Amino acid sequence: MTSDPLVVNLHAEVRAVLADPRFTVDPVPRPPQAPEAPTVAWLRGAVGRFAEGAEHAARRAAGEAVLAGLDPGTLRAEAFRLASPEGGPLPCPVELIPVLVLAVALGVPAEDGPRAVEAVAAVAPLYLPVPGADDGGAAREAADAGVALLSRLLGEPAPERLAVLAGLLAQACGATAGLVRAALAAGRADTVNTRGTVEGLLARTLRDDPPVRALRRRAPGGREVVLDIAAANRDPRAFPEPGRAPGDEHASLTFGAGPRACPARRVALALAAGTVEAVLR
């Protein structure tokens, strides 16, 4: 028997579900072995995001170790440089500058950065997946080709390492692009220039127009639970004066919470800040 998903939209309840390990993600089975050419289905089965228990913990830790080696200040400066109009034509659409900088920081040669961006942009919608993105045909083929190309651009790492690096890039893509787009729109609309610092602009954007709008879990007993992050961020009980509060990115649930919370908050904010700052100056 199937039942409609339970939608949770109160800030405290969303946070409680995210903190409770009895609410699980639907695990994607581990592939029996790495295929000859890695595919997006292989990638999904090999990352922490779609694993549970000890497997999730180990794969998450591998990603955190890679993230710990990245310097947010350097990432921000590089995003700023590449997104600056003085730097000449943009190497890729501006909202994908964070992915470009991240790909190079993870080992893609700088001259191959734009190709890596195209590969990640093809992989990302089928990795998460975005509803309607998997047409079973051209989009899936492009995503599979994207994973294989990323492997080559990253120097053909061992499958476990490829899963960590490609997983980080696929996770980063849609969310950072959404944040950059929304922050640029908010910054441009702000003609009286009340936006203050770029950090404030990003924090308000993350709370009010979150690039990740909903998360999903399976409740004990099997019912699907949809966590409405956008609504929780506007919950009047958590944010009594949403119009006036200075945008508190730690109170907003846009990076998730609990054992599966985004491990890349600092990296994401640095990449978005450098990009947005270069454009809105």
Judged by beta carbon, residue 63 or residue 187, the one nearer ligand HEM is 63
CB of 202 to ligand HEM, least distance (A): 8
Say whether 122 sits in a helix, a strand or coil: helix
CB of 68 to ligand HEM, least distance (A): 11
Judged by beta carbon, residue 74 or residue 85, the one nearer ligand HEM is 74
CB of 169 to ligand HEM, least distance (A): 7
Judged by beta carbon, residue 141 or residue 200, the one nearer ligand HEM is 200
Judged by beta carbon, residue 116 or residue 168, the one nearer ligand HEM is 168
Judged by the rule CB under 6 A, the positions of this chain that interact with ligand HEM are 48-49, 60, 63, 102, 167-168, 171-172, 175-176, 179, 211-212, 215, 254-256, 260-264, 267-268
CB of 263 to ligand HEM, least distance (A): 5
- Listed in sequence order, the residues at least 6 apart from 218 whose beta carbon sits closer than 8 Å to its beta carbon are 23, 24, 25, 26, 224, 225
Residues 140 and 280: their CA atoms lie apart, in Å, by 36
Name the DSSP letter for residue 218.
Answer: E
CB of 163 to ligand HEM, least distance (A): 11
Judged by beta carbon, residue 104 or residue 264, the one nearer ligand HEM is 264
Residues 202 and 186: their CA atoms lie apart, in Å, by 9
Amino acid at 64: E
CB of 239 to ligand HEM, least distance (A): 18
Name the DSSP letter for residue 135.
Answer: -
Name the DSSP letter for residue 6.
Answer: E
Residues 208 and 171: their CA atoms lie apart, in Å, by 21
Question: Encoding tokens for residue 189?
Answer: 């609309």
Judged by beta carbon, residue 19 or residue 110, the one nearer ligand HEM is 19
Alpha helices in 37-153 (DSSP H): 40-46, 53-68, 72-83, 97-105, 113-127, 138-153
